[in-house]
Amino acid sequence: MKIAMFTDSFHPTVDGAVVSMERQCVGLEAKGHEIVMLAPRPSADVETRWPVHYLPSVEFKSYRGYRIGVSPSDMLEYLREQRIDIIHCHGLASMAILSLTAGKALRTPTVLTFHTMASEAVRYYSFIGVRDDLVVPLVWVYLRNLLKRPEMVVFPSRPIEKELLEHGVRTKAHAVVPTGVDCSLYTPDNRDPSILSEHGLEGRRVMLHVGRLSMEKRLDIVLRAVKDLAGEEPDLRLLVVGSGPAELEYRRLTRRLDIEDRVIYTGFVPDDFLLKAYATCDMLAIASTFETQGLVILEAMASGMPVAGMRRRAIPEFVTDGHNGTLFDETSCADGIRRCLSSLDDLRPNCMETARQYSTGACTDRLVEAYERAFEVKRKSLA
């Protein structure tokens, strides 16, 4: 089939939704499907693996690097020329509305993946200046109205499915389909101690944090845990991989906590470095309360790395306390890290076992099944 992928965010901005979409595209192509993409036009040209039809856009000022698609006068013409079989949207904002408009006009099934907890994000990036207690209920009204319209809604994890249904979301059809991990790419074989020596980390116990540096990722919780553990874990260091709009604020907190000698910020890194970091560092820490899946968890586990994660939303779906990592609450991050460090050898084999359950091939098969269900729903509505 030929699939049109709609996305609110796209290169040069890279977030979990972009990574997820592209991994799904790789899996779909491997099974013989064809991909085209539609995205808001970026501020600078970028090279992409797949054909991209850019729509006029304006900057989303509340979140640097994001843009909003507008005035797509040639969108329907492009989709007709491409002979699209199905539309799959990876966003909840302007591109979601445009994907639904296109699906209705073309009588084509529309699938929407719920990547982002918009009710949480609006607390940090509201663009209308309204208090949380007023704007969050409005977001849920929007989500309930939006998610009842696609032929298929995809939830990346069961906790997110449960949370949305409990908030009154009703769909025509829905499925839980995580984004898979390529266990031949993310592997312990990528171990390379030289990446530690280049940052002065040889001989240290190194905890990794990977992701866009934004406020909702709650790196502050991990930084405070590093401070709390300084006395009992003198060799523990934190390697922070990634960049984002909150990087300066996190660096300032690092200075205020007086742990600059224990935290290394790499900024954005090439894929090769990240693969080696997963296989070489001792453990991953993730304190986000925002995750609908948390792709970095499976990447780390496929590389043989245990994970200390926040007991919130999707993270406990993939991290089982005492089996492949540890779980903590907002006030117990240091304890979660401590317990993970003390059991690394016991946890590593279970990490790789968990990752294999979410291989790219297996998750792609589940996505294709969701597409087939969307076709059925559309056929019934047109009958």
The pTM assigned to this predicted structure is 0.91
Whether 65 has a pLDDT exceeding 60, the answer reads no
Contact between 205 and 237 under an 8 Å Cβ cutoff? The reply is: yes
Q: Among 127-131, 138-142, 211-215, 335-339, name the one with the lowest average pLDDT.
A: 127-131
pLDDT in tens, 275-297: 999 999 999 999 999 899 999 99
- The residue to which tokens 């990036």 are assigned: 125
Domains, the chain: 2-180+360-382 (3.40.50.2000), 188-356 (3.40.50.2000)
Work out the mean pLDDT of the chain and round it to a whole number. 93
Whether 247 has a pLDDT exceeding 60, the answer reads yes
pLDDT in tens, 156-202: 999 999 999 999 999 999 999 999 999 999 999 999 999 999 999 99
For position 124, what pLDDT does the model report?
62
Whether 132 has a pLDDT exceeding 70, the answer reads no
For position 136, what pLDDT does the model report?
87
What is the chain's Cα-based Rg?
A: 21
For position 67, what pLDDT does the model report?
64
Q: How far apart are CA 224 and CA 313, in angstroms?
A: 21
For position 129, what pLDDT does the model report?
56
Name the DSSP class of 44: S
